[in-house]
Amino acid sequence: METDNRQLQVKDIFSNQLVSCSWHTPLTDAVKQMKAHQVSAIFVLKGDDIAGIWTESDCVKLNFENPTFTHTPIGALMASPVHAIGIDKTLGEATIKFHQLAIRHLLVKDENKQAVGVVSLSDIVRNQGLDHYLHFRPIEDHFERKVCILKSDDCISRAIEVMKSQRVTAVLVYNQALEQYGIVTQRDIAYMVLNPDWQIPCWQLSSYPMHYVTPSDSLFDAYRLMTTKSIRHLVVKDANTHEVIGLLGLKNVLTEIETAYCSELEKVLAQRDIALQKSEKNLYLANRIIDASLDGIMITRSTGEIIQVNPAFSALTGFHDYEVLGKDPSMLSSGLHGEEYYQQMWQQLSEKGVWQGEICNRKKNGDVYVEWLTIIEIKEPYSEDVLYAAIFSDITERKNAEEKIVRLAYFDELTSLPNRRLFHDRLSMALASAHRDAQTLAVMFIDLDRFKEVNDSLGHSAGDQLLVQVSERIKAMLKEGDTLARLGGDEFVILLTEVKDIDGVVSFANRILQQLSMPFELGEVCVAATASIGAAIYPEDGLDSETLLKHADVAMYRSKEIGRNSFQLYKASMNARSLERLSMLSRFQSALENSEFELYFQPLQCLTSSRINSVECLLRWQDPNLGMISPAQFIPLAEELGLITQLDKWVVNRACEQMAFWHSQGAEIRRIAINISAQFLSQGDLALTVANALTKHRLKGQYLEIELTESSFISNLHEAKMQLKQLKSLGVSIALDDFGTGYSALSYLTKLPIDILKIDASFIAKIPDEYGNSEIVSAIIAMAKALNLQVVAEGVEKPEQRQFLQKLGCHTLQGYLFCKPLAANNWMNFYNSAKLTS
């Protein structure tokens, strides 16, 4: 079957010769018209409408016995209704209609439903180019075996009777005399209506000579014979006996073609249905998948028009489908990508048919989000058109998480500064380029002094604020290419690139110290911070990042040792000190066990009586290898190692023991002062330790003085207050040591049971010459007097200092001017001579 022919329409083949007559037309006139136009059917009009049809085959139904039958109005004989087909229908559709209604003629109507012609099944068959179907089909299976043969002198009424009773469309007539067959067909009978004489012999009406075929001949040969001879029937004879065995009508041939055509058509239609069902099923599945997808999907035409979006698209962008369909995808654009970005996208799409990447788009509510987008080019089947399917997922959260992970991995969360890892990376890179370009680098270690005190006294959030502000101040001082990192806690490190000379590094460090000395506002409180800074220089102090950092750290420790708030450049000798420090750490524990600690005693002189007022215990560590180690070195170590309490307890006992001994020797010393660390006070058993020691050495509490610094009260004022109260109840005096160096929060003086104020030696060192210091000292003395506190001036070395303090009414002095700290065995000699001179 040829596709092109199947696409032919009724209008291409129909006959516009619409032979019609009115309903009242007598039968004879109707047949006359049919004969004149050589057609086998006539349409019957009622008014302007076609009401029925009368065909040649209807003639055998006529009542020939009625003498007036020829005058019967055609309307009374016609068949109705008349089936019609639209002029635009295909031949396939027309064929199906013929088949379903079992008819052979269809009225053709135009677009306005007006009858414009007629189409017969024969017309269709002739126009289908189906001749080849007949080639391989023998007549055998298709001819009418029921053949009625009349004698030539049988009258025509007999032929009509046979046609009617045997339901055949033609009868054969045998003329014995001529030994010939002739044929009488329905058409011959129909034309008899014009001249009715039912008694004439059949031979008179029959057509002859007949043409013959055998059952093995092909239908194609038979069909060609009929068309070339313009006949509609062939006689079928047995090939061997030459006996007439049947009749082959044009109708039989056409029926075979119709059947083949129809079955072919049905097959094609069935295949089309299956294909349609399959594609419908595929379409359904595709739509379900698109709808159920968690990824947003948007399908656009090549013109850019959006033709489909799925629910996930709406969920992700906030746009409903009706808000985007028919519009351009640029409505989602964030405006963050330039022309070039889209150009590259389209270029890759046209080259590879697919594009993938991250893109920032904008939601309906204006939020910009990052999506992972895949665009696929889809060529539409049977069409030149191209569609694009965009499949995307919102990866904003993933991107944020990734960024956060990177931030956490490389940046300090509190200050947003690079962390240790990133610093190492940058330092390694800077070292590589410094090596290549023969440049100098500096690594600077910064550690805030007494940061713990800020944290303990003002709380962690104030501590955090201080760290942030410190980082901001230092950052503001950096050049491009330099890095400030936070290594943790209060430790910062700076990488200075393109260092021209060492002086530059020194002045930079001093500027940092100066910047940090300016007050920081932490909420309602204002504090000043100091720092200890150390620096190591590449290439002099180290060639790799590890060595440089280690040496900068050593230099920083040296700054701490020399009294904090200072800067030190690394020197090779420092390394030795740092090793010393390490060895000290390991030696410390055994020193306690081996009684390598010893108390020295420094007397305090009453300024009015010049007598020894009291004596302060000062701890010494006599290491067999390292020699005498100063408490300024080992006390912070003991604090670091958590051994300070143990050490302080030892001092309390040893001091009580010494005092009891002196008393037993008749020495009149009013008080022995003991330094107690903040850690010990905060542990809560200081008073108990003191009470036990007093009991043990049968000493009264009044002979004991406990020296504390402000930092002791900061961490837990409540606990400190309790302990001090208990000490007071034992009769012990409380002294506030190093006054003026810490926060000097005057409120402690009124809140806590303090008896003595010890003015820090750093103030005394600058009196009486330095204006400002003298003022501070005189103010402290005046204030102490007003609060009824005793005042001790520490570190008095010069007679003019003593005179100045005396003038201000200071009670007591301590210092080398009067006496240096003495070992226990030297004490009695000094005491006795001092007694004599006082």
Ligand X SMILES: Nc1nc2c(ncn2[C@@H]2O[C@@H]3COP(=O)(O)O[C@H]4[C@@H](O)[C@H](n5cnc6c(=O)[nH]c(N)nc65)O[C@@H]4COP(=O)(O)O[C@H]3[C@H]2O)c(=O)[nH]1
Site stretch for ligand X (CB under 6 A), options 123-131, 380-388, 656-664, 793-801:
793-801
Nearer to ligand X among residue 296 and residue 821 (C-beta): 821
CB of 798 to ligand X, least distance (A): 9
Site stretch for ligand X (CB under 6 A), options 37-45, 56-64, 317-325, 791-799:
791-799
B/e letters for 659-678, b = 16+ CB within 10 Å, e = fewer, are bbebbeeebebebbbbbbbb
DSSP per-residue codes, 7-21: T-BHHHH-B----EE
Three-state secondary structure of 461-518: HHHHHHHHHHHHHHHCCCCCCCEEEEEECCEEEEEECCCCCHHHHHHHHHHHHHHHHC
CB of 534 to ligand X, least distance (A): 23
3-class DSSP state of 817: coil
Q: How far apart are CA 607 and CA 806, in angstroms?
A: 7
The answer to whether 58 contacts ligand X (rule: CB under 6 A) is: no
Nearer to ligand X among residue 539 and residue 631 (C-beta): 631
Which of 713, 790, 795, 808 is the binder for ligand X (CB under 6 A)? Answer: 795
Site stretch for ligand X (CB under 6 A), options 362-370, 491-499, 698-706, 792-800:
792-800
Q: What residues between 586 and 645 interact with ligand X by CB under 6 A?
A: 602, 617-619, 630-632, 635
* Phi-psi sector, 42: left (phi>0), alpha (psi -120 to 50), beta: beta
CB of 633 to ligand X, least distance (A): 9
Which of 159, 651, 681, 735 is the binder for ligand X (CB under 6 A)? Answer: 651
Q: What residues between 753 and 782 interact with ligand X by CB under 6 A?
A: 761
| Total residues in contact with ligand X, by rule CB under 6 A | 25
Nearer to ligand X among residue 271 and residue 646 (C-beta): 646
With 0-12 / 13-18 / 19 or more C-beta atoms within 10 angstroms meaning exposed / middle / buried, residue 629 is buried
Nearer to ligand X among residue 152 and residue 709 (C-beta): 709
Nearer to ligand X among residue 140 and residue 797 (C-beta): 797
Q: How far apart are CA 800 and CA 765, in angstroms?
A: 11
Which of 441, 738, 763, 811 is the binder for ligand X (CB under 6 A)? Answer: 738
Which of 109, 520, 737, 822 is the binder for ligand X (CB under 6 A)? Answer: 737
Opening angle at CA 443, ends 439 and 448, nearest 5? 160
Site stretch for ligand X (CB under 6 A), options 172-180, 354-362, 450-458, 790-798:
790-798
Query: Dihedral sign, CA of 494, 500, 506, 510?
Result: negative
Site stretch for ligand X (CB under 6 A), options 2-10, 190-198, 436-444, 789-797:
789-797
The answer to whether 648 contacts ligand X (rule: CB under 6 A) is: yes
Q: What residues between 681 and 720 interact with ligand X by CB under 6 A?
A: 707
With 0-12 / 13-18 / 19 or more C-beta atoms within 10 angstroms meaning exposed / middle / buried, residue 289 is exposed
Q: How far apart are CA 806 and CA 476, in angstroms?
A: 48
Sequence letter at residue 704: L
CA proximity to 308, closest of 320, 323, 316, 298: 298
Nearer to ligand X among residue 275 and residue 632 (C-beta): 632
Nearer to ligand X among residue 594 and residue 630 (C-beta): 630
Q: How far apart are CA 685 and CA 456, in angstroms?
A: 20
Nearer to ligand X among residue 553 and residue 707 (C-beta): 707
Which residue carries 């007006």 as its tokens?
114
CA proximity to 690, closest of 717, 708, 663, 666: 708
CA proximity to 485, closest of 475, 497, 500, 499: 475
Nearer to ligand X among residue 346 and residue 816 (C-beta): 816
Site stretch for ligand X (CB under 6 A), options 166-174, 508-516, 536-544, 672-680:
672-680
Nearer to ligand X among residue 118 and residue 618 (C-beta): 618
Site stretch for ligand X (CB under 6 A), options 75-83, 111-119, 367-375, 788-796:
788-796
Site stretch for ligand X (CB under 6 A), options 55-63, 152-160, 670-678, 771-779:
670-678
Residues 6+ apart with CB under 8 A from 382: none
CB of 742 to ligand X, least distance (A): 12
With 0-12 / 13-18 / 19 or more C-beta atoms within 10 angstroms meaning exposed / middle / buried, residue 304 is exposed
The answer to whether 675 contacts ligand X (rule: CB under 6 A) is: yes
Work out the number of other CB atoms within 10 angstroms of the CB of residue 680.
Answer: 25
3-class DSSP state of 2: coil
CB of 764 to ligand X, least distance (A): 8
CA proximity to 146, closest of 123, 122, 165: 165
Query: Dihedral sign, CA of 779, 784, 785, 787?
Result: positive
Nearer to ligand X among residue 498 and residue 755 (C-beta): 755
Three-state secondary structure of 680-748: HHHHCCHHHHHHHHHHHCCCCHHHEEEEECCHHHHCCHHHHHHHHHHHHHCCCEEEEEEECCCCCCHHH
Strand partners, 387: 301, 378
CB of 475 to ligand X, least distance (A): 35
Structural tokens at position 121: 């099944």
CA proximity to 329, closest of 300, 293, 365, 353: 300
CB of 691 to ligand X, least distance (A): 19
Nearer to ligand X among residue 77 and residue 647 (C-beta): 647
Q: What residues between 466 and 505 interact with ligand X by CB under 6 A?
A: none
CB of 438 to ligand X, least distance (A): 46
CB of 574 to ligand X, least distance (A): 21
Asked whether the beta carbons of 76 and 51 are under 8 A apart, the reply is no
CB of 600 to ligand X, least distance (A): 7
Site string for ligand X, 796-835 (x = CB under 6 A): xx----------------xxx----x--------------
CB of 741 to ligand X, least distance (A): 10
Which of 677, 790, 801, 812 is the binder for ligand X (CB under 6 A)? Answer: 677
Q: How far apart are CA 565 and CA 561, in angstroms?
A: 10
End-to-end CA distance of the chain: 143
CB of 680 to ligand X, least distance (A): 7
CB of 481 to ligand X, least distance (A): 43
Structural tokens at position 831: 């005491």
CB of 745 to ligand X, least distance (A): 19
Nearer to ligand X among residue 538 and residue 748 (C-beta): 748
Q: How far apart are CA 84 and CA 94, in angstroms?
A: 10
The answer to whether 658 contacts ligand X (rule: CB under 6 A) is: no
CA proximity to 759, closest of 788, 733, 781: 781
The answer to whether 463 contacts ligand X (rule: CB under 6 A) is: no
CB of 707 to ligand X, least distance (A): 6
CB of 735 to ligand X, least distance (A): 9
Q: How far apart are CA 639 and CA 648, in angstroms?
A: 11
Q: How far apart are CA 350 and CA 450, in angstroms?
A: 67
Q: What residues between 250 and 269 interact with ligand X by CB under 6 A?
A: none
CB of 821 to ligand X, least distance (A): 5
CB of 705 to ligand X, least distance (A): 11
Residues that bind ligand X (CB under 6 A): 602, 617-619, 630-632, 635, 648, 651, 675-677, 707, 737-738, 761, 794-797, 814-816, 821
